[in-house]
């Protein structure tokens, strides 16, 4: 399994988490505070899932480049996410339809969920630590050429 496949698997499970949070969290938010609770849960879930997906997607794209470009792409996406997060907080700060508790809980649950998905998928993957390595006595494709 290569890094691109691992990150694609992360994206798939993150999508499933988003559906679960929207259904369960949205239902709870609606039951607690009506449409305001539902909207807050949807916004919190969307922000956390979107930010997690941007990280995985930027890494899938960056893998194709040399190390300097890789870090530039990943760090650039991280900086973009920070700016967008601050903008979202400023725009949503005084909105009357936001239930602060529902928004906060959905953000925390989604963030913990995406971190757990990242950790589980990466630890369960069978990606070698080194590439193009051979043990003593083994022949490599370069030796046969």
Residue at 141 is within a domain = no
- Phi first, then psi: give them for residue 12, nearest 5 degrees: -65, -50
Q: Is residue 82 domain-resident?
A: yes
Residue 145 in any domain: the answer is: no
Q: What pLDDT is stored for residue 111 in this prediction?
A: 93
Specify the number of domains making up the chain.
Answer: 1
Q: Domain for residue 42, yes or no? A: yes
What is the pLDDT, as a whole number, of residue 136?
76
Query: Could you give the CA distance from residue 105 to residue 108 in angstroms, rounded to a whole number?
Result: 5
The two structure tokens encoding residue 119: 């950790």
Q: How many residues does the chain have?
A: 145
Q: What is the pLDDT of residues 28-60, one digit of tens each?
A: 999 999 999 999 999 999 999 999 999 899 999
> By the 8 A CB rule, do 42 and 19 touch?
no
132 within some domain: no
Structure tokens at 77: 């996406």
**Domain assignment of residue 140, yes or no:** no
The string of pLDDT tens digits covering residues 70-111 is 999 999 999 999 998 899 888 888 888 999 899 999 999 999
Asked if the structure places residue 142 within a domain, the reply is no
pLDDT reading at 143 higher than 60: no
- Domain residues for the domain of 23 are 3-124
112 pLDDT more than 60 = yes
- Inter-residue contact 47 to 105 (CB < 8 Å): no
Assess if residue 144 is contained within a domain. no
């Amino acid at each position: 399994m290569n890094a691109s496949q691992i990150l694609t698997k992360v994206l798939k499970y993150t999508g499933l988490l988003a559906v679960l949070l929207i259904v369960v969290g949205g239902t709870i938010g609606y039951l607690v505070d009506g449409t305001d609770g539902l909207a807050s849960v949807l916004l919190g879930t969307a922000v956390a899932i979107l930010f997690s997906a941007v990280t995985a997607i930027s890494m899938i794209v960056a893998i194709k480049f040399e190390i300097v470009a890789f870090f530039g792409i990943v760090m650039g996406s991280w900086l973009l996410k920070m700016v967008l997060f601050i903008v979202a907080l400023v725009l949503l700060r005084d909105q009357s339809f936001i239930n602060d508790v529902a928004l906060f809980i959905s953000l925390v649950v989604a963030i913990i969920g995406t971190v757990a998905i990242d950790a589980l998928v990466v630890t369960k993957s069978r990606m070698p630590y080194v590439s193009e390595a051979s043990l003593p006595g083994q022949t490599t494709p370069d030796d046969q050429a």
